[in-house]
Structure 1
Amino acid sequence: MTKSLALPPVSRGALRADACIHVLGLAASIAACVTLAAAMPWPVEWVPAFALGLYALGLVAMLGCSAAYNLAAEGRGKRLLRRLDHAAIFVMIAGTYSPVALLGLGGGWGWSVAAFVWAGALAGAGLKLFAPGRFERAAIAAYLLLGWAGIVAIVPLAAALPGLDLALLGAGGLLYSLGVIVHVSRRMPYQNAIWHGFVLAAAACHFVVVLRLAKGLG
């Protein structure tokens, strides 16, 4: 590879910044799950428990696998963690849709959206786990398309959810999408830390929506 094509080395400062963001994200994901559990009225019916459980699974899986992969030393184990990291993004997308579709939207629309997104997410996760390194650009497009798939149900969503929730869902989607631009900008200083910062900000927007849905069960 020529010098003009070679990526610049990652500075220690960038590595430390990314590590701090991952530690913060993992801690926040655990705190978020505890907060959700405390916000739900007990006992919980199976649909809310199922939907919120899928969300918690996706949140911890994405941030946990990302932290494990990005903080791990080079080697065979890191390559496995990379597969899990990329697969967990699909799980997080579907996990986030679960409470929005099943609790916020509900009915036939809700179950249809949830089933469609989970089918796509499981297919994408399987591809990342068993065919790593292939279709990388297609996978990025799949993340974005699956993340915005709910727009097909925008009319019933707008009727079912408060304006604040819709705004937060849209803001989270935009933050994830803008983060993808940073993710592919490999020469940007502190690129990885900035990309993961966008991820945390987007996840925070969506968490507020899920928390409001959980509180609304009472």
Structure 2
Amino acid sequence: MSQAFHESSEKALARLDAITESISETLADVKPKLRGWIHLASTPLVIAAGIVLICLSPTATTRVGSIFFVASAILLFGCSALYHRGTWSPKVWKILNRLDHSNIFVFIAGSYTPFALILLDGTAQVVMLVTAWTSALLGIAFKVFWPSAPRWMSAPIYIAMGWAALFFLPAFYDGATALGLGVGIAIFVLIATGGALYTLGGLVYGFQWPNPSPRVFGFHEVFHGFTIVAFVTHYVGVSMATYALR
């Protein structure tokens, strides 16, 4: 009887494998043709731009901030490209899915880091960095232990973490303008603009709209586009703040 049960279990597992493989193939068929290409094309450019930023950083502090900023961006865009471009087995898909979503929290904290190190000091700097990275760790735990959390819950968490910087805007403004009024205002505007672009991307992700061409360039591609434009905006801001100290 145990042998019959064992054989029955093996057949059931074989059927399950066939079903999951079929699901993977179906997902590949319905996935928009440009899914993942935006992040794939951007990753080498981010690496090149990051090397320039790190190498031209004038102090140890700016270099550390640049490393965190660039590394978190490479991690996000690189993993996203790998996850979205491939057609994976359910096991690998689950791992990459968790990494992809967890990296968003790391990226938000990594984006805060150079601005906090350069523009803030004292208690404000410590509170900003501790808040950002503690939130990132909690966000990672949330995604690891509840990977199936609904989209309507995930998007507001990303946006809320991103806009925690609102509490530090006066300190950011003071720190930025201390580098020079003109350059400081430009940096401050870039910080706010980048945050607004990330927010718009998060709303697109949450509402799944606009969805211009579901088979070619869907709402997810629009979301990815916003993340790249927002990253470029913050990259320019970090670069201006960094080079102002040269």
TM-score interval for Structure 1 and Structure 2 normalised by the shorter chain: 0.7 to 0.9
User: Which structure would you say has the larger RCO, counting Cα contacts within 8 Å and 6 or more residues apart?
Assistant: 1
Structure 1 residue aligned with 2:49: 32
Taking structure 1 as the reference length, what is the TM-score of the superposition? 0.86
Tell me, in whole angstroms, the C-alpha distance in 2 between the residues paired with 1:14 and 1:128: 23
The RMSD of aligned alpha carbons is 2.3
Are residues 133 and 206 of structure 1, via their aligned partners in 2, closer, same or farther at CA, if it must alter by over 3 Å?
same
Structure 1, unaligned stretches of length 5 or more? 1-8
1:52-131 → structure 2 map (5 Å cutoff): 52-75=66-89, 76-131=91-146
- Secondary structure in 2 aligned to 1:74? coil
Greater Rg, structure 1 or structure 2? Answer: 2
Aligned length, in residue pairs: 207
Structure 2, unaligned stretches of length 5 or more? 1-25, 177-183
Taking structure 2 as the reference length, what is the TM-score of the superposition? 0.77
Structure 1 residue aligned with 2:37: 20
* Residue type of the alignment partner of 1:168: L
Identity of aligned residues (%): 27
1:34-56 Cα deviation digits (max 9, x unpaired)? 12123213xx42x3333222112
Tell me, in whole angstroms, the C-alpha distance in 2 between the residues paired with 1:212 and 1:133: 40
Farther-moved stretch of structure 1 (141-150 vs 87-96): 141-150
Q: Please tell me whether the aligned partners of residues 155 and 205 of structure 2 are also in contact (alpha carbons under 8 angstroms).
A: no
1:37-76 Cα deviation digits (max 9, x unpaired)? 23213xx42x333322211221111111111111120322
User: Are residue 170 (structure 1) and residue 192 (structure 2) matched?
Assistant: yes
Farther-moved stretch of structure 1 (194-203 vs 72-81): 72-81
1:145-156 → structure 2 map (5 Å cutoff): 145-156=160-171
- Secondary structure in 2 aligned to 1:16? coil
1:1-28 Cα deviation digits (max 9, x unpaired)? xxxxxxxx99989733334312222122
